[in-house]
Chains A and B, each alone.
Chain A
Amino acid sequence: MSNLYNYILTIADNSLILAQRLGELCGHGPSLETDIALTNISLDLLGQTRSYYQYAAKLKGEDKTEDDIAFLRIEREYKNCLLVEQPNTHFGYTIGRQFLFDVYHLMLMEKLQNSPDETLSAIAKKGIKEVSYHKRFSSDWVKRLGDGTEESNQKMQEAINDLWRFTDELFFMTEAEKAMAKEGIGIDVSTFKEKYYKEVSEVLKEATLTVPENKYFTKGGKEGVHSEHMGYILADLQYMQRTYPNMQW
């Protein structure tokens, strides 16, 4: 049970933190269309997060609600990967982060829809439809920026080079993930690692970008050891519940 609970959070926290990052862009997107697109993606991710947290809260019992899980944990208890907490440095960076996550996310959902756990399977089935749109959006923009002007190409390339070091963590298996994969409920993410890099590389090539060869990777987020950005994200995210406990909209 505690493995399942932790497993759910491992998936859900990625969606929550990325949704929060994208939400920061509400009203600040580089154009009206991209602003709306990014915040719509944020909303989809938040919706998925809620479904996962409601399920996790039910498992936890003790009158816990989805809000407790979203707002009242300390930094070390969040299990999102480092990739999703990286800041919106510039539009190309936001797109790069989104693209590197979307390719992974869709592959994970496609596997998870076959989980014998009915709730996880239902969330994944619903999520696939949404995440496919996200991936279309982000990969289109990677190509547009990569194969755009000299400046957009350079910025897109720098973003990919910088974010590359966070990709390996997507395939790092935590204890909860290992245990759930063994039980046949969770997904062994290492099974689609090769497929992931292949697909990512194909899009990058089409975008006239160079696939980074850097073999230095960093990880920690999935085990609660986050980058310096995480504290600021949580300060924003938790502020209302911490200041006014149990407040409702």
Chain B
Amino acid sequence: MVETLSSVSDPEIPVLTVLDLGVIREAIEKDGIIYIKLTPTYSGCPAMDVIGDDLKKAFSEIGKQAKVELVLSPAWSSDWISEEGLQKMEEYGIARPLSESNDIDVLLNSKKLVKCPQCQSTNTHLVSQFGSTACKALFKCDDCLEPFDYFKCLK
């Protein structure tokens, strides 16, 4: 089961599996059917439909039928991303979410706390509160001048 689940990755951040992302709330096998509870990161996240389909496909490849249910409560939090997931994300070039108060400081009060995933400098500034997807904000490093995504803290 875990092996099949971890073969499915986030279409937006392909280095993260659904388990790293923390969107699988439950997966149980009953009478030969796999029942999966999936929590969306953001309400309108288009990746969720894709993830649901990918899960069904992954299980059908091992001869099992999977049923996926979206659950909204409790709402997903960026705290649910595993430490391993956060490391993979950074290696992939996306800065990891800061604590809630630091997140407000960087997004609202232009504090320099987000670490550039390329050169590790915190001499970075916010370009846009909304990045390539709703869960990310766009930053730019003032040392190596690379733009990069920052995964927003969501609680």
Distance in angstroms between the alpha carbons of A137 and B134 in the assembled complex: 13
Interchain CB contact (< 8 A) of A127 among B43, B76, B130, B133? B43
A50 to B138, CA, bound (A): 27
Q: How many residues of B contact A (CB 8 A)?
A: 25
Query: Given A44-B44, A47-B44, do A125 and B130 touch, yes or no (CB 8 Å)?
Result: no
Interchain nearest-CB distance for B37 vs A (Å): 13
By a CB distance below 8 angstroms, the chain A residues around B138 are: 33, 36
- How many contacts A-B (CB < 8 Å)? 74
Which of these binds chain B: A84-92, A115-123, A147-155? A115-123
For A, the interface residue count at a CB cutoff of 8 angstroms equals 28
Instruction: Provide the bound-state CA to CA distance between A123 and B44, in Å.
Output: 12
Majority DSSP secondary structure for residues of B touching A = loop
A45 within 8 A of B: yes
Instruction: Tell me the nearest residue of chain B to A48, going by C-beta.
Output: B43
Distance A118 CA – B75 CA, assembled complex (angstroms) = 13
**Which of B44, B108, B155 is close to A136, meaning CB atoms less than 8 Å apart?**
B108
CB of B15 closer than 8 Å to a CB of A: no
Complex Cα distance, B42 from A43, in Å, reads 9
Distance in angstroms between the alpha carbons of A33 and B130 in the assembled complex: 7
Are B129 and A43 interface neighbours, CB within 8 A? no
Jot down 7 A-B pairs with beta carbons below 8 A, ordered by A. A40-B133, A44-B44, A51-B43, A118-B73, A126-B40, A126-B43, A129-B154
